[in-house]
Homo-oligomer: A and B are copies of this chain.
């Protein structure tokens, strides 16, 4: 049986990818941020998962507005880093786990999640920056990845509750797989930021920290918050943190926090990184 042994959440700020790729992580402005990710890098290197399921969103790079799936699952063997306007990032190709992805698709669709099956797609910073933050600059990513892309950029987005329920369905899907695999799930995006309009630059440290608290102890409360309230509190672009709820839904009600990091700002954005695992696992 495959098992989701832990989860982590992280911002996916594109600029952080550029700083890593440009070898500038030790510059004074950036250093505190990358230091905050050191525990995650070490934890993941020690854990050695077979597969990481990455919940992320595309930013009009791998997808155009021609079609917008609410939930898309990457079933291919490979996903290339997308060209986001100045050439693709020089990071390794992302290797999928097609067999598990197809199994998950079958399980999710039977569970009444109306997935869009992706047999070819490029992945943008929403997916590759979390990999860089969590793994640094390896020659190849040290695990397979199942990308699950959520529409958070075009209204109507899935509700926070639906994202949470997707996490629960993902867990059922993984646990019904017929092969032993150590699986980690990552929720990406956020934290508070808005990069358009007169509210550009907002940061809401109070909400961000409250959100992490609630995510740990009582995530169901966060599923009751409307899109408009999320937009109001964490910004139109920051509302992508509803994807953290998918990660959370895939874990037990009781979790231990192994790492918690929060930093303001990375240019326009608050940065957050949390690792959680089921309490029974640590007992």
Interface residues in chain A, defined as those with a beta carbon under 8 Å from any beta carbon in chain B: 65-72, 105-106, 109-110, 112-121, 151, 154-159, 161-162, 165
Contact = CB atoms under 8 A, between A and B. Distances in A.
User: Which of the listed residues A66, A115, A154, A158 has the most CB atoms from chain B within 10 Å of its own CB?
Assistant: A115
A121 B64 CA distance: 13
A158 B65 CA distance: 24
Number of copies of chain A assembled together: 2
A112 B159 contact: yes
Contact of A67 (B116, B158, B159): B116
User: Which of the listed residues A112, A113, A119, A158 has the most CB atoms from chain B within 10 Å of its own CB?
Assistant: A112
A67 B121 contact: yes
A67 to B, nearest CB: 5
A236 B49 CA distance: 39
Given A115-B114, A116-B116, A157 B66 contact: no
30 contacts: A65-B119, A66-B118, A66-B119, A66-B120, A67-B67, A67-B69, A67-B72, A67-B116, A67-B117, A67-B120, A67-B121, A68-B116, A68-B117, A68-B119, A69-B116, A70-B109, A70-B114, A70-B115, A70-B116, A105-B156, A109-B156, A109-B158, A109-B159, A110-B159, A112-B158, A112-B159, A112-B162, A112-B165, A114-B158, A117-B154
Contacts of A162: 109, 112, 114
Contacts of A161: 112
A62 to B, nearest CB: 11
A114 B117 contact: no
A55 to B, nearest CB: 14
Nearest to A106: B156
